[in-house]
Structure formats: C-alpha cells, structure tokens
C-alpha cells in the first residue's frame, strides 16, 4: 500500500450498503483511516437494522468458522474504530448528503443501487446487478480506468477477472492475444457468507459448471467487455477448500512470437500504469513475480501489498499446445472485490480533481501525487 499520504485532502463522506456481508465487512476495514474517504453510514439487511455492527460482524464470522472448522477459517477481527456503529436503514443513506456509496449487494437487491443513482449518488459496486449494462462502467483500475468517469455506476468485475485482466493487459500489449484458456480453483470466501454443504467442499473439489453460480459466464463476458479487441476465452471454474485467495491457471496463444519466459517475466514485472499516482491503495507492483517452485499458493501469496497485488508464477513457454502458460493468485476479497472498488473510487476522485470539478486543498492534493 502506498505510504506517501502524509497530508490528506478533505475527506469525503461515503456510505456502505451491504455492509454486513463479507465484502462489506472488508470494505469497512479497508476504509478505516482512509486519507480520502470517511465511511459514515453502514447499511445492511432489514433484519440487521438497528443492531450493533460488532454483533452482526462477529456472529457472521463465527458462523463461518463453526461451519468450516477452526483449522480452516480465521475470523476477520472487528475494527475498534467501528465500536459505536449501528446498522442504519436504507432510507437514512438514500436521504443523506453522502454523495459516494460503496455497494456489495447481492444481485437480487440491486434495485437499491438504482434508487441511489436516481438520488444523484455515485455508486462503486461489486454486485453483478447491471454489470453489463451500457450505462454502467466495468473497470479494473490499471487496465481501463479511463472509463471510470463516464458513468455514475462503476462496477468491478468478478474476483477472478480482476486478477486475470491485470495479468493479460501487459501480455496483450506486447504480444497480442488469440486464445486464452483459464482454469480456476476458487476459495470458499468467493461465495461470501453463503455456506456450502460440507460434502461438496471439505477435502474435495467442487466444479461450478452448470451450478447456480455463473462464474464461468461472468469471467468470459467481463474479459470481453474490459478489453476492446476480442480474443477467444475458455473458462473452467472450481471451488476448493481454502479460506481466501483464488489460484488460477492460464494458457495463452499469442499473435506474436514469445522468445522465452524471462522476456514474459520482464513484461509482467514492469507493468505499473499507476506508478507514482499517489492513489492510497495502489500497489507499487500490481503483479508480483514469484519464482519459487510450487508457488504461487493462496496462503503464501494472497497478501502481497495488502492483498492488492496479484502473485504470478510458473511462467513457461515450454508447452506443446500453447505459447505461454502461467498461474496466479488473486486475493478475491481485497483485490477482487472491496479493494478493487476503493481503487476505482480513488482514480475517479483523481480524475475529478484534475478536471477541476472537485475542489480540495491543493497543497494536500499535491502531497498525494494527484497534481
């Protein structure tokens, strides 16, 4: 995480909707002491309205630990700075002067995002709701962040896609892409607080093909929307018995010859389009190369730069079918969800300041690298 925020612009008050869910809880944690944003309203389900945030938070973490076992599930601690927070009703957020909202609503509750937009608020959202609508932006900050200012509804994609786009962007630029084959091994936290039956996942691998989860379809469609020049994408998704961090295998057919794996590693390690931007959650290196055999792995590699960087390894050009193979680990709750939404909002604010449509203390803004 960038540490060059010694001086802060005036903090913008923001709201969280879906604050009691897994991604909502991580949003609350990441926004603690954020130099640009101050979370002031926390909205959950109707059943949690009026309840202490701590009570809801700890109950949900304990439920996950009890279900999956203490040997696997490590509860996310409740932040002390939220001690006095109670869960607010939706109308409190809707009628507030808060202009920026972070949403982690399930698709079925997405209509609440529409009401927030109608009230003039800007919404940064992890929800699948309207993810493919033309009047919504689907963005991975470093890849197509120039799209963020075009709409008031800014979506970040599926957690696998968030990592995949970061990996593919520099490869596409250097070599071009014809075909990409993706096999995912996704952690249990990717389903939020919803619990899998133990016999599906404990000591097991659960294929998601034709299940109620639309992960494979989401990944294909999201990649096609984020990259303007189309290439073929094949996806197979599986759920595995890991708490956090998705492991993904990638196979690529390129348009241009790839000399060797060292050349690819150099291309990946030099990818840093937000370098020196001063965005608080922007990692120094979006892609971290790991060269140890048997890496990357979710436990060891899902927390690079606070979970905002993607770990890449097993880079090889020695394949009889594909030009390139590699694997990566993305922190699905941070980079693939909560942190991705916040980073999008940081770039949005950056763009607003540069365009002169938002006035902040120029001395403070310059200190964080925006001017």
Q: Are residues 174 and 56 in the same domain?
A: no
Query: Does residue 246 form part of some domain?
Result: yes
pTM score: 0.92
- DSSP alpha helix (H) spans, the chain: 22-30, 53-68, 90-94, 111-118, 141-144, 159-175, 198-201, 215-226, 261-269, 298-301, 339-355, 362-367
Query: Does residue 5 form part of some domain?
Result: no
Q: Are residues 276 and 195 in the same domain?
A: yes
Instruction: Supply the pLDDT for residue 33.
Output: 86
Residues 161-175: tens digit of each pLDDT? 999 999 999 999 999
- Please report, for the domain that includes residue 104, its CATH number: 3.40.50.720
Instruction: Supply the pLDDT for residue 229.
Output: 84
Residue 2 has pLDDT above 80, yes or no: no
Residue 3 — pLDDT band, cuts 50, 70, 90?
very low
Q: Identify the sign of the CA torsion 99, 100, 104, 110.
A: positive
Query: Does residue 2 form part of some domain?
Result: no
Query: Does residue 208 form part of some domain?
Result: yes
> How many percent of the chain have pLDDT more than 70?
94
Instruction: Supply the pLDDT for residue 228.
Output: 86
Q: Are residues 281 and 204 in the same domain?
A: yes
Query: Does residue 4 form part of some domain?
Result: no
Q: Six-digit token pair at 109?
A: 């509750």
Q: Are residues 325 and 358 in the same domain?
A: no
- The whole domain housing 359 covers 12-157+335-367
Phi-psi region of 50 (alpha: psi -120 to 50; beta: other; left: phi over 0): left
Q: Are residues 227 and 84 in the same domain?
A: no
Residues 290-331: tens digit of each pLDDT? 999 999 999 999 999 999 999 999 999 999 999 999 999 999
Q: Are residues 226 and 286 in the same domain?
A: yes
Instruction: Supply the pLDDT for residue 273.
Output: 96
Q: Can you tell me the mean pLDDT for 91-119?
A: 95
Residues 199-213: tens digit of each pLDDT? 899 999 999 999 989
Q: Are residues 238 and 119 in the same domain?
A: no
By residue count, the chain amounts to 371
Q: Are residues 176 and 322 in the same domain?
A: yes
Q: Where are the beta strands (DSSP E) in the chain?
A: 12-17, 37-43, 100-103, 122-125, 137-138, 153-155, 177-186, 205-207, 232-240, 246-254, 287-289, 310-316, 324-330
Residues 330-368: tens digit of each pLDDT? 999 999 999 999 999 999 999 988 877 665 544 334 333
Query: Does residue 7 form part of some domain?
Result: no
Query: Does residue 214 form part of some domain?
Result: yes
Q: Are residues 184 and 82 in the same domain?
A: no
Mean pLDDT over each residue of the chain, to the nearest integer: 92
Residues 64-83: tens digit of each pLDDT? 999 999 999 999 999 999 99
Instruction: Supply the pLDDT for residue 357.
Output: 62
Q: Are residues 19 and 138 in the same domain?
A: yes
Q: Are residues 103 and 150 in the same domain?
A: yes
Instruction: Supply the pLDDT for residue 361.
Output: 47
Query: Does residue 113 form part of some domain?
Result: yes
Instruction: Supply the pLDDT for residue 369.
Output: 38
Nearest-Å Rg of the Cα atoms of the chain is 20
Q: How many domains, in total, are found in the chain?
A: 2
Residue 230 — pLDDT band, cuts 50, 70, 90?
confident
Residue 9 has pLDDT above 70, yes or no: no
Catalytic residue numbers, as ranges: 159, 246
Q: Are residues 116 and 215 in the same domain?
A: no
What number of helices (H) and strands (E) belong to the chain?
12, 13
- Please report, for the domain that includes residue 215, its CATH number: 3.30.360.10
> How many percent of the chain have pLDDT more than 90?
87
């Amino acid at each position: 995480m960038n540490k060059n925020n010694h001086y802060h612009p005036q903090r913008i008050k923001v709201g969280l909707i879906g604050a009691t869910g897994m991604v909502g809880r991580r949003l609350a944690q990441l926004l603690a002491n954020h130099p640009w944003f101050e979370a002031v309203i926390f909205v959950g389900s109707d059943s949690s309205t009026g309840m202490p945030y701590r009570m809801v938070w700890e109950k949900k973490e304990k439920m996950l630990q009890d279900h999956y076992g203490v040997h696997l599930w490590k509860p996310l601690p409740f932040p002390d700075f939220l001690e006095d927070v109670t869960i607010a009703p939706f109308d409190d957020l809707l009628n507030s002067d808060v202009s920026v909202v972070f949403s982690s609503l399930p698709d079925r509750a997405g209509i609440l995002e529409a009401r927030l937009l109608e009230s003039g608020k800007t919404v940064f959202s992890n929800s699948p709701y309207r993810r493919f609508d033309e009047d919504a932006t689907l963005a991975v900050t470093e890849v197509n962040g120039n799209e963020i200012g075009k709409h008031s509804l800014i979506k970040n994609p599926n957690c696998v896609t968030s990592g995949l786009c970061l990996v593919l962007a520099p490869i596409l630029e250097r070599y071009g892409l014809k075909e990409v084959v993706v096999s995912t091994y996704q952690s249990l936290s990717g389903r939020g607080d919803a619990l899998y039956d133990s016999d599906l996942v404990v000591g097991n691998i659960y294929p998601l093909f034709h299940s109620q989860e639309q992960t494979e379809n989401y990944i294909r469609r999201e990649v096609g929307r984020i990259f303007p020049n189309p290439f073929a994408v094949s996806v197979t998704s599986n759920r595995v018995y890991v708490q956090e961090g998705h492991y993904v295998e990638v196979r690529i057919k390129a348009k241009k010859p790839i000399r060797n794996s060292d050349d690819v590693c150099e291309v990946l390690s030099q990818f840093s389009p937000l370098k020196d931007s001063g965005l608080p959650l922007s990692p120094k290196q979006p892609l971290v190369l790991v060269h140890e055999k048997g890496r990357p792995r979710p436990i060891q590699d899902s927390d690079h730069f606070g979970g905002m960087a993607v770990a890449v390894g097993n880079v090889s050009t020695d394949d009889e079918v594909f030009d390139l193979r590699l694997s990566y680990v993305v922190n699905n709750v941070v980079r693939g969800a909560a942190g991705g939404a916040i980073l999008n909002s940081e770039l949005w604010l950056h763009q607003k300041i540069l365009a002169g449509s938002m006035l902040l203390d120029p001395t403070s803004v310059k200190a964080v690298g925006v001017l």
